[in-house]
Amino acid sequence: MPRSMRPRPGPGKSQQELDELVRRMRAEQSSHENYRERSLRLHGWICAKCGREFERHNLHLLTVHHRDGNHNYNPADGSNWENLCVWCHDDEHSRSILADYLRGDGKDERRGGE
């Protein structure tokens, strides 16, 4: 791309603006990391769908499902979470994909993405 067509950088941010941006990003990151721990504490080490119980050695197979699909909505009371094993979590998302397809909400790649 010719140099004259490249986007020009906007005005620089002050150190105070940069510090605030870093603070907000760290707060968001820590809240995303902690919702799994909070959900495990609130709902226990058990799959809400199949009832499989987990122990420390296989706890990585227990995931947090966001009921409304919004990974950024993490209320402290855990009302948007349910702990699902990886198999039930996969099944849950497969069902929504199938439902979208059956409703005609998905794009059909065979028809050119119409």
User: 3-state secondary structure string, the chain?
Assistant: CCHHHCCCCCCCCCHHHHHHHHHHHHHHHHHHHHHHHHHHHHHCCECCCCCCECCHHHHHHEEEEECCCCCCCCCCCCCCEEEEEHHHHHHHHHHHHHHHHHHCCCCCHHHCCC
Tell me the sheet residues that pair with 66. Answer: 81
Which of the two residues, 36 and 26, has the higher pLDDT score? 36
62, 84 contact by CB (below 8 A): yes
pTM over 0.75: no
Select from 111, 54, 57, 56 the least CA-distant residue to 88.
54
Lowest mean pLDDT among 23-27, 39-43, 45-49: 23-27
Mean pLDDT throughout 6-31?
A: 78
CA–CA gap between residue 60 and residue 38 (Å, rounded)? 15
Residues in the chain: 114
> What structural domains does the chain harbor?
17-111 (3.40.1800)
Mean pLDDT of the chain: 83
